Amino acid sequence: MKPASVNWKEDIAADEETRFTGYAKQFEAIQQENSKLFGKGRTLHRKQLLGMKAKLEVLPDLPEHAKQGLFAKSGIYESLIRLSSGSMKIQPDSKGDIRGFAIKILGLNSPGALGNGNATAQDFLFINLETFSSPKSDEFVGLVTAVAKGGGALLKYLFTTYGFLGAISRIRKAAATFNKPFSGFATERFYSAAPISWGPYAVRVRLLPPENQIPSKDALNHWGLDMKTRLTQESLVYSFQVQFFTDETTTPIEDASKNWVESESPYITVARLTIPRQELGSQEAMAFQAKVEEAVFDPWEALLEHRPLGDVMRARKYVYLTSQKGRGAV
């Protein structure tokens, strides 16, 4: 095990603003085309599965290096949760996909990550994968835009970009990603997959599911209904954990495709996320679902002390804002 270190750094290229602006325009075109088919919505994670109310409890007696930003002292914060499927389209829950678990922590008032005043909320965006498929944003954008054009364009992109063996490798990796077994939002682990700052430190974030939940064989047909059913019976309590940067080789900041080895940098629990029992079928609940769907969930909706780090995260600043504008959220 290695100690947490503050000696991390970002490698920011001179042309990033130009490139990231271009990526945002490409994603904007995808969003506009799909909005013609499915109605107004996000570029990715278009399908909301469920919106819920929750509370985040920052635990007392944390290690000194973990007491940073929102987590500097114990407390309880009202929160919103949006569960989603990662596709740019609306498709059946039974179809393989990346699943998203987004949290918005409310009631804050501290300098924001964007440097344009104080942030009143802190968002954490998780997926059911430990890492991103690509080390940097250029590969991810190329893949998404090719997927949006259809199967032939995707194959052409993969073979042109990576050659025969490289394309085959990426096809297999993509198949494994989308066909990865998923048991439900109450029984799976979720990951930030890319780092954020933690005061002077850097971390990745993880959610551990409640220990007492058992997967339902019927959940894959309606992931949201599975959660609704559980929440009519009991509250769900997740462990909110962080994993600290130790050194660039073990815990790289700029390569979002490389997993941080847990034996070298173990996760520690810093908070509990409680989704209380709640009725999600009433008219009031339906109005709340619409509120969550309209809300912004953005890694850059963050405190300065929890600023997103790395190429993928910096690109998301541009892409998410454009997506929000495209659906009238900002």
Would 273 be classed as within a structural domain?
A: yes
The pLDDT score that the predictor gives to residue 203 is 99
- Domain range for 189: 47-106+122-284
Q: Is 240 exposed, middle or buried (0-12, 13-18, 19+ CB in 10 A)?
A: buried
Q: How many residues does the chain have?
A: 330
Task: Compute φ and ψ for 50, nearest 5 degrees.
Answer: -170, 145
Would 202 be classed as within a structural domain?
A: yes
Element (H, E) at 323: helix 311-326
> How far is the first Cα of the chain from the last one, in angstroms, to the nearest whole number?
44
pTM over 0.85: yes
**Euclidean distance between CA atoms 197 and 8, whole angstroms:** 10
The pLDDT score that the predictor gives to residue 180 is 80
Would 214 be classed as within a structural domain?
A: yes
Task: Compute φ and ψ for 236, nearest 5 degrees.
Answer: -115, 130
**Euclidean distance between CA atoms 195 and 4, whole angstroms:** 14
Per-residue pLDDT of the chain (330 residues; tens, 9 = 90+): 999 999 999 999 999 999 999 999 999 999 999 999 999 999 999 999 999 999 999 999 999 999 999 999 999 999 999 999 999 999 999 999 999 999 999 999 999 999 999 999 999 999 999 999 889 999 899 888 888 888 688 788 788 888 888 878 877 877 777 778 899 999 999 999 999 999 999 999 999 999 999 999 889 899 999 999 999 999 999 999 999 999 999 999 999 999 999 999 999 999 999 999 998 888 999 999 999 999 999 999 999 999 999 999 999 999 999 999 999 998
Tokens of 258: 């490389």
The bridge status of strand 196-198 relative to strand 201-208 is antiparallel
Would 23 be classed as within a structural domain?
A: no
Three-class secondary structure of residue 32 per DSSP: helix
**Euclidean distance between CA atoms 26 and 74, whole angstroms:** 42
Tokens of 265: 């940098």
The pLDDT score that the predictor gives to residue 20 is 97
Would 91 be classed as within a structural domain?
A: yes
Would 324 be classed as within a structural domain?
A: no
Would 183 be classed as within a structural domain?
A: yes
Would 28 be classed as within a structural domain?
A: no
Beta strands in 43-158 (DSSP E): 47-58, 75-85, 99-105, 110-111, 118-119, 122-127
Number of domains in the chain: 1
Q: What is the DSSP string of 137-157?
A: HHHHHHHHHHHHH-HHHHHHH
CATH of residue 98: 2.40.180.10
**Euclidean distance between CA atoms 309 and 202, whole angstroms:** 8
The pLDDT score that the predictor gives to residue 162 is 82
The pLDDT score that the predictor gives to residue 133 is 87
Residue among 316, 312, 320, 317 at smallest CA distance from 11: 312
Beta strands in 138-217 (DSSP E): 190-191, 196-198, 201-208
**Euclidean distance between CA atoms 283 and 307, whole angstroms:** 37
The pLDDT score that the predictor gives to residue 153 is 80
